[in-house]
Amino acid sequence: MSDPEPGIGTASGSTETAGGSEADARTRILGAGAYVPSAGLPREAVVDAWGRSRARGVDAVAVPAPDEDALTMGVAAAERALSAAGIDAGDLAGLAFATTTPPLAEEDLLPRLGAALGVPADARTHYVGRSTRAGTRALRAARDAGAVPALVVAADAPPAAPNSPEGHAAGAGAAAVVLGPGSGHGARLAGDAEAAADYPGTRFRRVGREETEGLGVTTYDRAAFTRPIRAAVDLLGDEADGPAPSEAAALAMTAPDGDLPARAARAVGLDADAVSTPVETLGDTGAAGPLLGLAAALREGATPTLVVGWGSGAGADAVVVDGLAPVEGDLDTDRELSYPAALRRRGEITGDEPPAGGGAAVSVPTWRRSQPARYGLLAGRCPDCGALAFPPEGACPDCHGLVSYESVRLPTEGVIETVTGVSPGGAPPEFARQAERGGDYAVAIVRFERDGAAASVPLQVTDADPDAVEAGDPVRAVFRRIYEQEGVVRYGRKALLASEDR
């Protein structure tokens, strides 16, 4: 290892390990998916608001919609990765999820992620959080488990104080990869290593707080970032069963801003232009950064790719990915927000608590019974006349018979039949907070067709100006937050205009 330092060498208490080539040889990336929110906040808007931007090397940041969070973004990326790999979620043997920004501080997200995707209940699962290193740790955990095919998902939207370096860089995004057997097509995991050293205070979130912060000691922060990364890459160079890290055509890594990754690239002997994580246009995507960078490198045909996950504290993982795999999903936002609109969308500026009473108080047990329909658009086919019923309960909508329905999953593509707009003042209480952050929204009856029959499903139209939504518009059903009640987030499908589908 080059340039040993106190806190880096094993004698001072740091840890270093390398992954065995036997495990790597059994695993390949069969496909990847990426998801980023549709709206972004340009640097110029931040400068206009604060007089400067404190995020080095960041030209814009992605801002999630009011009904988006780490889980919904992860589902979107996962669906694209499965499509790219040609794998059905029902065939998965493993599922891993990584985030530093879960919707709840304590709750296992994997059952919801699996239910939204249709993953078998007996799949081997791994959840990794509390560090931006989580994405690469989830990748390595799924690889080491040996249960393939496996899906690895990383999604994040790090929060921070608006006028702070972390706040000016705060972005959002998600990426996922499907791991499969070592033989055949795909990109091979050709070795990995990790290194850790005690560097407290570079980036942290206090207990009971929502905002990420740091002490802002520039020289110290740079050392805490580059030295563990260099140590892990040096060790990987000794152990990799394939291309050496110095041969990498791309560097996919954690990117708190645009400056630190460039410094880390030079520290490991690569050009700063090799960094593939789109921090300049998306901002700090936390634990999702390395996999988003990998998706970008695979799309550009860059191989091999050195994938590096860094977590404050500080530690680093380094993985060499050799070869290419198909990728689905855009890596750019497509419209700009004003600074007040971005703060409103993030929930930084909101009014009082939503009004009490008058809402649909649906208990969690009742909601759970409807999850197959809400999550997977599960309808019922009448055995007598072949009509579709959604939800699959009650009398047949066509022949009016009381029948036992055959379960049928509707396609995600449909067409709007009718639509109406809802203003924040007219929203039911449970939707008031979302309406306050996102403004007016549309509710539509969407027609989904399956095998010559059709079902009409009421869905909220997400991420669209209600005045621009019309009958006849094609849409796709996407997984989003519906509302929060009794502290529990209710999720389900909403309609996204096909013109906005990225």
SS (H, E, C) 61-99: EEECCCCCCHHHHHHHHHHHHHHHHCCCHHHCCEEEEEE
Q: Which helix (H) or strand (E) holds 43?
A: helix 43-50
Q: What pLDDT is attached to residue 9? A: 35
Give the containing element (helix H, strand E) for 343: helix 339-346
Bridge partners, residue 28, by sequence: 180, 188
Query: Taking Cα atoms as reference points, which of 2, 59, 32 lies closest to residue 303?
Result: 32
Report the predicted TM-score, pTM, of the whole model to 2 decimal places.
0.93
Q: What gap in Å lies between CA 368 and CA 274, rounded to an integer?
A: 46
Q: Supply the pLDDT for residue 24.
A: 44
Residue-level pLDDT at 486:
84
* Two structure tokens written together for 414: 């449909």
3-state helix, strand, coil in the chain (%, to 5): 30, 30, 40
Cα separation, 155 vs 176, in Å, equals 9
Q: Which domains does the chain have, with CATH numbers?
A: 19-346 (3.40.47.10), 364-500 (no CATH)
Query: Which DSSP helix (H) or strand (E) runs through 17?
Result: strand 15-18
pLDDT in tens, the chain (502 residues): 344 454 443 222 334 444 444 444 568 999 999 999 999 999 999 999 999 999 999 999 999 999 999 999 999 999 999 999 999 999 999 999 999 999 999 999 999 999 999 999 999 999 999 999 999 999 999 999 999 999 999 999 999 999 999 999 999 999 999 999 877 789 999 989 999 999 999 999 999 888 999 999 999 999 999 999 999 999 998 665 778 999 999 999 999 999 999 999 999 999 999 999 999 999 999 999 999 999 999 999 999 999 999 999 999 999 999 999 999 999 999 999 999 999 999 988 776 555 555 556 788 898 898 999 999 999 999 999 999 999 999 999 999 999 999 999 999 999 999 999 988 777 777 787 788 888 889 999 999 999 999 999 999 999 999 999 999 999 999 999 999 888 899 999 999 999 888 7
Q: What is the pLDDT of residue 1?
A: 36
Beta strands 173-181 and 305-311, pairing class: unpaired
Q: Residue 381: how many CB atoms within 10 A of its CB?
A: 21
Span between the terminal Cα atoms of the chain, in Å: 43
- C-alpha 231/C-alpha 227 separation (Å) is 6
Q: What is the pLDDT of residue 278?
A: 97
Please write the tens of the pLDDT for every residue from 161-192: 999 999 999 999 999 999 998 777 899 999 89
Query: Could you tell me the strand order of the sheet in which 378-381 lies?
Result: 388-389, 378-381, 406-409
Do 261 and 283 form a contact (C-beta atoms < 8 A)? no
Q: Residue 360's pLDDT is what?
A: 64
The per-residue pLDDT of the chain, averaged, comes to: 91
Question: What is d(CA 480, CA 76) in angstroms, rounded to the nearest whole number?
Answer: 9
